[in-house]
Amino acid sequence: MHFAKEILMKPNHLLHACLLICLAPPVAAQSDWYVHPVLGSDFDPGSCTEPFQTVSYALTVAAPGDTVWLQGTLAGSYAAPSESFPWVLQDVSLAASPCGGTGSIVEVDGANIPGPLVVLDGSADFSARIEGITFLDADLGIELLGGSGQYAPQILDCTFFDVELAAQMESGLNSRFNPVFRNNQVGGAKDGLCHLKVTQALEASPLIEDNFIGGDDTTGNMIRLEGTTQGGHAVIQRNQGSRPVNSDASIIQIWEFNGRVDILKNSGAHYRGLEIFNCPWHPESRVEENDFNSGVTGIRVTNTSGVTLYNNKTNGNHQGVWILTDSDEVTVEAHSATNNHTRSESAGIRISSGCEGYRVLNCTLDDNLQGITVASANGLIEGCDIINNDHHGIRAFSGAVGSEIARNLITHNDAGGIRVDSTSLCVVANEIAYNGFGIRDSAGDGNLFASNLIHHNNQEGFLLRIASALNPPQIVHNTVADNSGYGLDSDWAGSSPFVANSIFWNNNGSGDDVFGLMPGEIIFSDVEQGAPAGTGNFSLDPLFEIPGSDYCLSSASPCLEAGDDSWALASIDLKGDPRNSDADWDGDPQPDCGSDERVNVALKHLSGEFSLGSTLNLEIEATDQPTANYFLYAAVDPDAKPLAAKPGGFHPLFGTVLLDQNAPIFQLVESGSLVLGEVSISATIPPAPSLLNQFLALEAGVGGFGIGAGQLSSAICEQIKP
C-alpha cells in the first residue's frame, strides 16, 4: 500500500485521477477540511495535521455549509496542474487556515487561465465565504451566475493582483442578492473589485466596505452596481481607490440601478470618483462624506434625477461635481470643491444644459478655475462661499433662464464675482467683494439684481454690456461702495428707470460713481457723484455703521425709508430681514435704500431640533419697544422656505411678510406682551408623521394697531426631520 501511494505521489496526473477514488482512504463526516499544496496528500483524511493536497479534491468531499481551509506555505501556491480550475463551490467556504501549514502565503495562481478561478454555484442558495486568500494572474477571480435563489456570499480580507476583475456576480428574477465585500485589497486588476448586476430581484442589499483598489493597470470601473430590484438597501462605504495617473474609469459606478443605495465616506485619487448614470434614483438613497481628488471628475451625475449629494469633497480634479444630461432636481449641499482647474472648462460645480431644478446649497468653492458654471438650466445657488477662484465666482451662460443666486459670499475671484450671459435671473442678497468686477451682465433682459452688497472690487461694481438687450435689468436695493472702478458702468441707451432704491458711494476714487446712465434711468438712490436727474435721488453720506467694513445703516442714516415701495422687488435684504420695514415706527412702512433694511425685531432660535416631537426654544427681541405686544406665526409646507427673489406679502402696518399665508398650515403659535423688550417661547413640533420632511417657517412680529405701528422679524425655516 505504501509503495502504491509513493508512485501515485509522482506527477502522473492521469493515473492519479483514475485511481483516486479507489485508493483514497474513506473520509469521515466533518465540516472543516484542510489543504496544503506541498505537504498534503489527497489520500490523507484532510485534517489540520494530515491535510489534502488539492482544493479540487477537497471540494469533492465537502458538503454545503463546510469550510475548506487553505494552509499557508513559505513558497508555492495553489495552482495548475495540481489544481483543476475553476473551483466550483456549492455553498462551501474557502478560507486561509489558522492552523497547520509551513508559512503565511496562501496564494491561488491562475497562471493566466481563461475564465474564473472560483465559481459560486448559483443553482441553489449560497451564503458561504471566501476569506484571507490571495488570487493571482487570472481573467476573473470569483464568479456567481445566480438564478432566483438567495445569494449572500462574503468576500473578506482577500487580495487580488493582476486579475482582470476580482469578482463578477449576477442574480436573476425574484432573487435575494446580498453579497458582502469587506477589507479586500485589489492591485493591478484592470476592471477592479466587483461588478454586480441584478435583474428584477426581490431584494438587493450588497455591502461593499473598507476595500482598497489601486495600481497602474486598474483602468476599468472599480465598483459597479446595476440592475433592477423591488427592495433592499445597498451600502458602499469607506472604500479607497488610488492610481498614479488619471483614468476615465470610476471608483464607484451606479449604472441604471433603481434600488436604494448609500454611498458613504469613500475616497480616491486619479479616477472619476463616483458616477451615477441613467438611474431611476431611489428617494432614500444617500451620497455623503465622500472625498475624491486629483482625477477627471470628482462626482458625475448623468441622466439621473432627484439625487442629493451632501457633505462631499472634490479636490484637484478636472471637474469637482458635474451634473449633466437632463439630471433634474439634483441637490449639491454642504459640498467642498477646491483646486479643480486642470482644464479650460473646469469648475468646482458644473451644471450642464437641461438640468432643471438644480440646487447648490451651503457649499464652499475655493481655488477652482471657475467656482460654479450653469448652462441652460433653471435652479438655485444659495448660501455658498465662493472664493479665490481663477476666473469667475459664478458664470451663468446663455440659457440659464430663471435661476436664482441668493445669499452667497463671493469674494477674491480674479476675473469677477458673477458673470451673467442669460436672462430672467434673480441675483439677490449676495455679498460680492474683492473680485475683479462685482457683477457683469451681458444679457440684460429680465434679470433682477436686488439687495446685494458690492464692495472693494478691483474694477466696476456693476458692468452692464447690454446694448443689444430688449430690456435692461432691474437693479434695486444694492449697496455699491468702495470699488476701484465705477459703481455702475452701463452701455444701455434707454430712458426708463431700471436702477432704484440703491446706494453708490466712494467708488472710482475721486471720480463719478456711475457712468453711462441717462436721465430717468436711476431713481430713489443715494449717489455720491455722477447721478443723472431722477426722481428721489440725493447725495448724502449714507452713514454706514462702520464705513468701509460694516455697511448696515445707522439709526441716523438718510437712507432709512428713502426708497420707493413699488421698487421693492425682493422680499428680503442682505441679512434676510424683510423689506418695507417700519424702521421709525410711524405706521407707514417704507423700504430703506441699499442692501440693508434696518429692522429692530429679531427672532432667535436658541436650542432644539427641527424634528418630530421636538421642542424649540425661541426668543423675540425688540430693541426700542420694551412693552409692546408680540406674536409668533408658523407656516408648514412642502416648500415653505421663503424665496429671496420674490416680493413678499404686504401688511399696511408691518410691511413685507415673509411667510406664505396660503400654506397648508398657517397658524398663530403664541402672542402676548414683551417684558423689557424680549420674551422667551417654547414651541413643540407635533409628532405627526405627515409633517416629516415638510418645511417649518417661523416669523415674529412686534407692535400692532394698539400703537399704530409694527415690525416683523426675519424668518427661520428648516426641514422637519424624524
Residue 1 binned pLDDT confidence (cut-offs 50, 70, 90): very low
Computed over every residue of the chain, the mean pLDDT equals 90
Q: What is the pLDDT at residue 650? A: 85
Contact 401, 378 (CB under 8 A): yes
Q: Is residue 619 part of a domain?
A: yes
Q: What is the pLDDT at residue 269? A: 87
Q: What is the pLDDT at residue 19? A: 34
* Of the candidates 630, 627, 608, 626, the residue with the CA atom closest to the CA atom of residue 718: 608
Rounded CA separation 160/164 (Å): 9
Phi, psi angle pair for 6, to nearest 5°: -65, -40
Q: Is residue 226 part of a domain?
A: no
Q: What is the pLDDT at residue 401? A: 82
Q: What is the pLDDT at residue 216? A: 64
Contact 41, 27 (CB under 8 A): no
**Res. 688: pLDDT tops 80:** yes
**Res. 107: pLDDT tops 60:** yes
Contact 514, 486 (CB under 8 A): yes
The residue among 119 and 625 whose pLDDT is bigger is 119
Quickly count: other Cβ atoms within 10 Å of residue 71's Cβ: 25
Q: What is the pLDDT at residue 377? A: 87
Q: Is residue 39 part of a domain?
A: no
Q: Is residue 458 part of a domain?
A: no
Distances, alpha carbon 56 to alpha carbons 33, 37, 118, in Å: 12, 11, 11
In this prediction, residues 434-457 reach a mean pLDDT of 94
In this prediction, residues 2-20 reach a mean pLDDT of 33
Q: What is the pLDDT at residue 414? A: 98
In this prediction, residues 108-115 reach a mean pLDDT of 87
Quickly count: other Cβ atoms within 10 Å of residue 664's Cβ: 12
Q: Is 275 helix (H, G, I), strand (E, B) or coil?
A: strand
In this prediction, residues 466-487 reach a mean pLDDT of 91
Residue 101 binned pLDDT confidence (cut-offs 50, 70, 90): confident
In degrees, rounded to 5, the angle at the alpha carbon of residue 358 between the alpha carbons of residues 262 and 612 is 55
In this prediction, residues 15-31 reach a mean pLDDT of 46
The full 3-state SS of 278-311, as one line of letters, equals CCCCCCCCEEECCEEECCCEEEEEECCCCCEEEC
Element (H, E) at 18: helix 13-23
Residues whose CB falls within 8 Å of the CB of residue 2, separated by 6 or more in sequence, listed in order = none
Residues whose CB falls within 8 Å of the CB of residue 686, separated by 6 or more in sequence, listed in order = 612, 613
Residue 12 binned pLDDT confidence (cut-offs 50, 70, 90): very low
pLDDT tens track for 492-510: 877 788 999 999 999 998 8
Grid cell in block for residue 33: 477540511
Q: What is the pLDDT at residue 25? A: 44
Q: Is residue 96 part of a domain?
A: no
Instruction: Name the E strands within 330-451.
Output: 331-333, 336-338, 347-351, 358-361, 364-366, 372-374, 379-382, 385-387, 392-396, 404-406, 409-411, 416-420, 426-428, 431-433, 437-441, 448-450
CA Rg value for the chain = 34
Amino acid (one-letter) located at 472: P
pLDDT tens track for 382-394: 999 999 999 999 9
CATH of the domain at 713: 2.20.130.20
Q: What is the pLDDT at residue 643? A: 52
Residue 204 binned pLDDT confidence (cut-offs 50, 70, 90): very high
Q: What is the pLDDT at residue 246? A: 57
Q: Is residue 87 part of a domain?
A: no
pLDDT tens track for 141-192: 999 999 999 999 999 999 999 888 999 999 989 999 999 999 999 987 777 8
Distances, alpha carbon 491 to alpha carbons 441, 482, 516, in Å: 11, 22, 6
* Of the candidates 142, 217, 146, the residue with the CA atom closest to the CA atom of residue 184: 142
Rounded CA separation 300/650 (Å): 43
Q: What is the pLDDT at residue 646? A: 55
In this prediction, residues 215-225 reach a mean pLDDT of 77
Ranking 93-107, 271-285, 307-321, 630-644 by mean pLDDT, the lowest is 630-644
In this prediction, residues 119-131 reach a mean pLDDT of 95
Rounded CA separation 581/654 (Å): 7
Number of domains making up the chain: 1
Q: What is the pLDDT at residue 13? A: 37
Rounded CA separation 412/366 (Å): 10
Element (H, E) at 13: helix 13-23
Q: Is 23 helix (H, G, I), strand (E, B) or coil?
A: helix
Q: What is the pTM of this model?
A: 0.91
Residues whose CB falls within 8 Å of the CB of residue 607, separated by 6 or more in sequence, listed in order = 616, 617
Q: Is residue 636 part of a domain?
A: yes
Ranking 14-28, 576-590, 650-664 by mean pLDDT, the lowest is 14-28
Q: What is the pLDDT at residue 7? A: 23
pLDDT tens track for 288-297: 999 999 888 9
Residues whose CB falls within 8 Å of the CB of residue 18, separated by 6 or more in sequence, listed in order = none
Structural domain boundaries enclosing 654: 601-719
Q: Is residue 644 part of a domain?
A: yes
Residue 641 binned pLDDT confidence (cut-offs 50, 70, 90): low
Residue 466 binned pLDDT confidence (cut-offs 50, 70, 90): confident
Residue 18 binned pLDDT confidence (cut-offs 50, 70, 90): very low
Rounded CA separation 93/8 (Å): 28
Residues whose CB falls within 8 Å of the CB of residue 257, separated by 6 or more in sequence, listed in order = 225, 226, 227, 228, 229, 234, 279
